[in-house]
Structures are given as C-alpha cells and as structure tokens.
Structure 1
C-alpha cells in the first residue's frame, strides 16, 4: 500500500485530465448524435447516452485500479499465460460456440449476463502486454538478437489471434492487432536488420493464413457489404444510393460544418442519413455541429495521449516500459487513423470506434484500462527520474 501511495505522488495529471475531457466530450456527442436513433428505436432520446454514462462511470474506477498495478507484473509468466489463454478462449467462443451477433458486418460479440463483450478489443491490449513481456525477457537474457529464438512464439500467437479475429470478419481489429504488434517489436531494441527480418517473418506467417481464410471463407470475409466498401473507397459518388451513401453523407456533414459548425444538436446528417451516427461515424457529426472547435478537441486530446505515451517511452531505461508505452500509444493513434481515415475516404471504412468518443461499452472500458496501464508506466518513469534527481 505504501508503494502505491509513493507511486501516486507522481500521478500524471495532464494525462488524466485529457482522458476526462475526452470522456465528457464523448458523452455530450453521443447524446447529440443518438437522440433521433434513441427516439426511433426505444422511444427514449437519452437511451444511448444513459448506457454510455454507465460505461464511463464503471471505466473510471477501473482506470485507477489498473493504474495501481505495477506494470512489471505483466512480465510474470503465469500472468501472461492466463491472459493469452483467456484471449484465445474468448475469441474461440465467438466462432465455435456462436455467442455472437451480427453487427456492422462482423460477428464479434459475446452475450454475457452483464452485457455484450467484444473479445477483439481485449485482444488488442493482451497482444501489447504479451509482446512487451516476451521481448523484455529476451532483452534481459541478452538473446534479443538471436533471431531463431525470438521469432517463433510471438509470431505464432500473433498469426493465430489475427486469424481468429479475421474469421469474425473484423478487418479493422485485425489491422490494429498486427500494427500494434509491429510497433512493440520496433521499440524492443532490435537492430534494424533483425527488425526487418522479424517483419518479413511476420508477413510470411500472416499472409498464408489470410490466403487460406480467403480461399475457404471468401464468402464470409468478402461479403457484399465489404466489397461495397472497397468500391465506395475508390469512388463513393459512383454508388450514391448504395455503398457510397455513407461516405457521401459523411462528406456532407464535414463540409457543411465548416469552420464554426452548425451548432450543437443541429446536425442534419444524423437525422437518418448517417447510419449509426453515434458509433464509428460520430466524428462526422462532431465536424458538422462544432466545426474546427470540436475536431480540435478530439484530435488534440487523442494526439496528446499518443505524444505523451511516446515521450514516456523515450525517457525510460526499462525495455518493457518502453515497449508498453509505444504499443499503447500506437493503439490509440492507429485506431483514430482508421476511424477518421475511413469516414473521409482516405482508406476503406473499417467500422472501428473513435477512442473515448464513440458509443460502445467494451471499447471505452478496455481503452480506459489501456490508459490505466499507461498511467502506471508514466508514474513509474516519473518516480524513476525523481529518484535519480532528474
């Protein structure tokens, strides 16, 4: 308990304040963007807001609990074995036992007594913890550059997990899992030569698995909706009444918002033109209603978290802490790029949520846990530097 108190003396207030601002702003925009949806589906304009508020009120205490757990515990072999098994079991439960529901083209949810749970969100964090733990131990033993000993287990786990998530046809989550794993490897301290070999080996493992999935599960993965998204990415105006409608309405929302926005609650596109405007398309509503002011809050807040994560990683001497911060920072950054890139047609739509802003209990809670881990590392690094008189 005394160690926890000493650690909390180095609490990262800017990081926590950014988290709270994003959470409150997200609540406000979930309410604004979901009013019509709530009235039409549940005769309650506050339906989605009320549920998201419960998610936030649950997530904040969990954030503090996780922030108090020393990140070094994640190097414990027993802890990581339990986490990896739990991750794989939960992903299997969606596919094998069928406890999922079709949602936005992917079957990635499990119904539980306390609500719906999305295992792929869980997998994003576990992959970061596992890769950081694995390569930190290799670093300590001095075997990091011994390629044959370093490449096997993590790439097998990554390929297996990516394959399971791809079978759910959750392409966005698959991309995030692969890219955050690459970021952790990049921060591991490997030489450039070994890093490039690792990346090549990663794709040697993953590409055949994807090819097999496409060969045997092409109808499941390349659905009409997903093919439509690819066509809409190339030219949404060619399919104005079909697959391009969502992106076109997103363009209209962002364009009509301009610099100042139409005003809070005044979005036109949320009135049935944008499907599910409170989830992965919420940034378009923010742009329409609040203009540059609203988008600056979102991009500035998430950008600060990413910057903070990377700056913490550059200060620490601990390989595990460095890999955790770079992995967690990339998680927030990559997910934001995929979300906003999709609705602006820079990349195809993937359906991933906007961190701390979009409606979604699993996403908000697990990203809060991720931020709690980052907070613990931040406090550890600040204490480390303080003890050294820096």
Structure 2
C-alpha cells in the first residue's frame, strides 16, 4: 500500500470517521442491556425486544436507505442521518419510558442501515475498482479498532460520572462528525451516478429481487451470520458450562479475537488481493468450521484459546469479502441499494441465537459440529453465484 496516496483523501476521512463514530457507538451499545436493567428496571423480555428492534430495523431498513442514497445522493442521506443519529443517543440519555427507549432503539438500527450503505457507496465512488477489496479490509480493521477503544472508554466515563454520560458524549461526537462531513462533502465534487428519476422503490425492489446472483449471495450470508451469531449467544454459555471461571475466560477470548483481527488483518488482506474473492471466502469458512469443531471439543482454557485464534482468522478472510462480492455484482447506479440489501443477511443473526439455544439445550455435544456444517454450506450458494457472474 503506497501510503496516504493509495486512497482518495475523502476515503481516508471516512475511514477515520468510521473509527471515531464506531468508538462512540461502542461506548454505549454493548451496555444497553445493563443500562435498561439497572436504570429503567426493564424485564429480560423487554430488554430482548429493545435490542431486537434495532437489529430488525437495521436488517430491513438497509435496502430502503440504499435506494434513497442512489436516488437522492450520498451527501443528503449521510448528513441527514448523522444528525438524526446524534439525536437518538441524546434521547437515550433523556428518556425514562421503556416504550420510548424501544422507539429510539429502532431508530438507531434504522440510522445504521441508512448511514453505512451510504458511506460505503461514497468510498466506492472515489476508489478504483482494483483497490476496493483493500478498502473493505481496512474498513473492517477500523471497526475492530473502534471495538477495542469504545467499550473501555464507556466503562471509564461511566465510572467518572453517571450511566447516562456515555450516551450524551456519543450524541455530541456524532453531531461533531456531522459538521465535519458537511465541510468534506461540500469540498469534494461528488462522483455518484444517480439512479433513474423514474424508477420507484417498488420497481427497484422488483429488479433487485429478480437478481438471482444477489439472492444467492444473501442466502450464503444468512448462513454465515447464523453461525457467527453463536459468538455472543451460545459460546459464552458453552464456555461457562465447560470450564471453571468461564466468564473470565470468555472475556479473555473477546480480547484475543480483537487482537488477532488487528494484528493479522493487513497481511491477510494483502494476500487475499492476489486470489479470488471466492477462494478467500472459502479459506474463511474452513477456518470458521475448524474453530467451531475445536470449540465443541474444548474442555480447557488452552483449547478454547486455540479455537478462538482459528475462528478469528476465519473472520478476517471472510467478512470483508461478503460485502466486496455484493459490490462487484451491483450496477454503478445501484451500489448503495445492493449494499443496503446486504443487510438482509443479518436475518441469520435473528435465527442463530434461537436455533443455537435449542441445540445447546438438547444437543450440547453436537452444537458446533452443526454450525461447522452450516457455514460450509454457505459456500454452495456463493459458488452458484460465482458460476453466474465470472467477475466475482
């Protein structure tokens, strides 16, 4: 990578903004359940509904946000969304009513489903085709950097002040980034090819819904998301059941996951640029499957740690490729729409904890062998999409 000249200045700015805003988000979102329980005295069911609402709106709002981004332009959607998002976090700090909190949580998911396809599409507009895989890898690294910084800051700020202060600071940070974006997007001339003014959302949905390649990629993504959702649903339970001080070990496993991703993301991304997207994804699924099998066999700290290292390498190979493959099949005038549609793969995140919980209850000895098979099956859908589109 040839230094700062490798990407357009606007792309670097958005990547830095990704670290800034994701770190702000990580100060609060991982602790929402605790906040609802301790401050609003919400029941487990209400907490589940609140957190699930964000995921639901993020999943199905993506294609609508992507459509508006292609239709109205990146600038309008990005700037409008970031300021609404700022208000959502300020709202989290102010409201004491659980129903209002659920509404704000839904808006949080909706804002993410609008903002992320729009900023990804904006970076694509300013990035040459041969550099886009690297772009998705670096963006993924940026998110993981934020994932290390944010929770630590959230705990520290809460310990110094109050439980609501991280929400206030996050809202202020989002607003500040919004003003930076106004300056940036006014400074650089947009390169977007706007979608046809006559095409309505139902017509766009019909076109996207008939794209068999996209549907195959989404089906494969759902299976991967179903498997990966075990990471923070059934895995902590399995660890706690399998070893002494399981909660402590799971905390260590989280740190190991973040450290492996940060250390190996760049060298692995350099290697994946030399091979096909499908080959990179295949490596990822094989590492995922191996990690799952090791988790299933583990009964000691050492084996759980080895399993997490293997699992994390799979994450590095696989995750940047999922969006990269969708971007590669998207028409130039529908980049954000297709990236928004990619949010539908998060359906696996709904199904996974439920299915995994059932397996954990009835088939604990086989749970991750099943998950290994599921993630490997995703390759069937990706391979079929590949056969229909030699550009992938």
Structure whose residues are more often helix by fraction? 2
Give the structure-2-normalised TM-score.
Answer: 0.31
Give the structure-1-normalised TM-score.
Answer: 0.31
